[in-house]
């Protein structure tokens, strides 16, 4: 469980940082409309923290489901 959380957190902190600070580049790969890019970036910024929480949560859920 701890190894899974460590690996997940390492990757997800990088993803969080990219989404939070450069999410507009990610949304710009799907459209060229400035308003849509900005709204997509705003959505991703709100979602970015969940990427870190999910790393911990999924590791714990998997551990406890497999632990009898």
Q: Does residue 67 form part of some domain?
A: no
Q: Does residue 40 form part of some domain?
A: yes
Q: Give the integer Cα–Cα distance in Å for 62 and 20.
A: 27
- 19, 58 contact by CB (below 8 A): no
Q: Which DSSP category does 68 fall into?
A: -
- Which pLDDT value is given to residue 68? 66
Handedness of CA 40, 37, 16, 62 (dihedral sign): positive
Q: Does residue 43 form part of some domain?
A: yes
Work out how many domains the chain is built from and give that number: 1
- Which pLDDT value is given to residue 49? 87
- 51, 15 contact by CB (below 8 A): yes
H-type helices in the chain, by residue range?
2-28, 34-66
pLDDT under 70: residue ranges of the chain: 68
Q: Does residue 68 form part of some domain?
A: no
Domain coverage including residue 45 = 2-62
């Amino acid at each position: 469980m701890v190894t899974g959380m460590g690996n997940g957190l390492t990757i997800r902190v990088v993803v969080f940082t990219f989404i939070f600070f450069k999410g507009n580049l990610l949304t710009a790969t799907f459209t060229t409309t400035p308003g849509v890019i900005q709204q997509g970036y705003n959505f991703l910024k709100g979602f970015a923290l969940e990427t870190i929480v999910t790393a911990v949560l999924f590791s714990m859920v998997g551990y406890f489901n497999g632990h009898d």
